[in-house]
Amino acid sequence: MRLAALVILAALCACSERAPASERTYLDPAERQSGAAFLQPETQALQADNFANPGFLWVDQGRALFNTAPAQSRACSACHGDDGVELKGAAAHYPAMDQSSGDLVNLEGRINLCRTRHQGLDPLDYESGDLLSLTAFVASLSRGAPISVDVTGAAADWYERGEDYFFTRRGQFNLSCNQCHNDNWGKQLRGDTISQGHGTAFPGYRLEWQTLGSLQRRLRDCDTGVRAEPLDYGAEDYVAVELYLAKRAEGLALEAPGVRR
């Protein structure tokens, strides 16, 4: 028992080991591949079929919410056009800096800022049906658009913060994101093929979840998988990781709502 406790303690003590820049290995941009490339053909077909893809149930609900004015307020479409016509392509450029607050916001954060600033409404909770639906709908307007985010100026520090998180070992398994998704992508882990870890499908439908979920839910799953304590939804570090992942996936098409294992 004492030996086992010491082993666990040693693992916990190593959970914040950050790889120095000189020791980091990066994904070759010429080898970038969507996570869909690592799926079984049946799952690829499910994502590609807009009628069969279960994520479009949330897209349809999001469209209805977008075009309907809440009580004592106005609809999203009053500013952004019917069915979000003026937002086509916008989701491919998130996360992005919010000029008013100076904070980095992801797509969920932007939707909530619109609610509080322009509609006089309360923000929606992460993973709530309404926020997932609105995010899925807005993201679907950019489906197929190449991902391109700005990491200059004030965003540079956020990008560096997200990169540090990606390369930091954590949890009792003492593993970092890059050890799977940079160093060992394409290899087998039990019955699965390790992907490159791009967030292009999110919000997406995971067969494991049997529901739609945000990219932050997936990040929390990864942290739990290495036996680290997951961060709270909306945590700044997770938003920073989203920015890093978006830049890392630059040029790949946004697939949301995607389908994953």
Contacts of 232 (CB under 8 A, 6+ apart): none
- Choosing from 15, 76, 180, 222, the catalytic residue is 222
What angle, 0 to 180 degrees and rounded to 10, lies between the N-to-C axes of helices 215-225 and 236-248? 100
Cβ contacts of 193 within 8 Å, gap of 6 or more? 38, 186, 187
Q: Amino acid identity of 51?
A: F
Cβ neighbors of 171 (< 8 A, separation 6 or more) are 11, 15, 223, 226, 227, 228
222 annotated active-site: yes
Q: Is the peptide bond before 29 cis (omega within 30 degrees of 0)?
A: no
Dihedral of CA atoms 15, 20, 239, 136 in degrees, nearest 10, equals -90
Quick one: which H or E segment has residue 208? none
Return the percent helix, strand and coil in the chain, to nearest 5: 45, 10, 45
Q: What are phi and psi of 242, to 5 degrees?
A: -60, -40
Question: Position 23: which residue type?
Answer: E
Place of tokens 């080898």: 31
Residues 44, 36: Cα–Cα separation, whole Å: 6
Catalytic (active-site) positions:
222
